[in-house]
Copies of this chain bind each other. A is one copy, B any other.
Amino acid sequence: MSAKPKVIIVGGGFGGLSAAQALKSALIDVTLIDRRNYHLFQPLLYQVATGSLSPGEVAAPLRGVLSRQKNTRVLLGDVQDIDPAAKRVVLADGASFDYDSLIVAAGSQTSYYGHDAWQQWAPGLKSVEEATNIRHKILYAFEVAERLTDPAQRRAWLTFVIVGAGPTGVELAGAIGEIARQTLKNDFRSIDPEDAQIILLDGSPRVLMTFPEDLAQKAERSLAKLGVQTKMNTMVHDVDRDGVGIQVNGSPQRLTTKTVIWAGGVTVAPFARPLAKRTGVETDRSGKIKVGADLTIANFPDIYVVGDLALSLDKEGKPLAGVAQVAMQQGAYAAKAIVRKVKGQPKQEAFSYFDKGNLAVIGRAAAVANVFGVHLSGLPAWLVWALIHLLYIVEFQSRVVVFIKWAIQDVTFSRGARLITGDAPTDFNFNREIASGGSASSSKVA
């Protein structure tokens, strides 16, 4: 019907959305396909998992974000296959869509490094559902502990283990520390939430390996103030319903806990596999798709891969990290490359990542930040963090509401979204836990 070139974007995360927005005024038919109807602001997802924000505040409906962009349509669909010769992608429901140029921004998912059975005991933090599941687990653990009388069992329920001490793990551990020390302070009668043990594990020698060392040390001190113990050089070799098996500097130990959260690693989205197979492109061990300096893949100059799915090298030949900043810059680059091609203009220079720095927040009004090489910590770092995150939250409404919530929380220590909703995770049964654990009888109510 239309003679305009067709661009399909797979994925509405940071990379895909930034590509779509960069195509705003182009004479191009843009189709953005995602399995979800919303863009998720991943860096704040830990605040949903810890009851500070509601899912609606860290997500923006893709249709809403792109509704005024008349050259773009949004489709809810699961891209499962590709025919690169015919220039066509195929959805799970069998529908297929032709493209002239394709931008693959399918992202990443939680990886248990071959131990997928751990997932049921140690949810990751990539989706809204996982975040509310983690919120459920954390809050339920305090509820069960309040009802139990056996000290060992109570301790198991009041022990929280976070695997992975990158920014997500550090932020989660800090937030759980705050919940135990401040938010729930006056809420229980039989337990003292401050007795909660919060343990942050990582195989690396220190937290926040991607940050400068002085900031990592400051982060560790801030975590310690919130009651978080850090266990570094620690490998996880088993996770089950009653705890975690670890090796600390080679010697085996066991942590008894009912709540494990996995911030341990990511792998590529499933679409990486058919994409690699059909195009014959090189991948790394984790399945990332190798792209050239122009972000296209070998022999297919019309297929761009951006964000977490792309194996893209910086000037020193080191792979770029899977962070929002990289994805956004790559998405915009790919969009611009397509516009230039359509207009018959010469190619851009090779993609080059402009690193603005790193940020991680540890509890209330404390953070560490490396901004353009300047190292900040404490309140200044937190203010930079708050400003940057607010500016990036896509939708106007969320931005105002989130800001006000933070302001109120910083004054009151309260967390408004402390709901235990949805079905309990498999094999997690409050009645059974209590019944088997010897619950408080009425004589204990005082």
Contact = CB atoms under 8 A, between A and B. Distances in A.
Nearest to A38: B419
A382 to B, nearest CB: 20
A128 B96 contact: no
Interface of A: 1-2, 6, 29, 31, 36-38, 51, 53-57, 59-61, 63-64, 67-68, 73-78, 88, 91-98, 128-129, 132, 139-140, 143, 146-147, 184-190, 395-398, 400-401, 404-405, 408-409, 412, 414, 416-422, 430-435, 439-446
Contacts of A419: 37-38, 55-56, 59, 61, 128
Contacts of A61: 187, 418-419
B54 A57 contact: yes
Given A64-B187, A95-B440, A95-B441, A412 B430 contact: no
A31 B443 CA distance: 12
A132 to B, nearest CB: 8
Pairs A-B, 5 closest by C-beta atoms = A56-B417, A54-B54, A63-B187, A93-B434, A54-B56
Given A64-B418, A147-B76, A422-B129, A408 B397 contact: yes
Contacts of A185: 67
A412 B431 contact: no
A38 B93 contact: no
Contacts of A76: 140, 143, 146-147, 420, 430
Contact of A67 (B1, B36, B186, B432): B186
A387 to B, nearest CB: 20
Contacts of A64: 187, 414, 418
Contact of A128 (B56, B78, B91, B421): B421
Given A36-B420, A77-B147, 8 more contacts: A63-B188, A68-B186, A94-B439, A95-B147, A95-B441, A132-B421, A397-B408, A400-B408
A96 B442 contact: yes
17 contacts: A1-B446, A2-B446, A29-B446, A54-B54, A54-B55, A55-B421, A74-B187, A76-B147, A91-B431, A95-B434, A95-B440, A95-B441, A98-B442, A397-B412, A398-B416, A401-B401, A401-B404
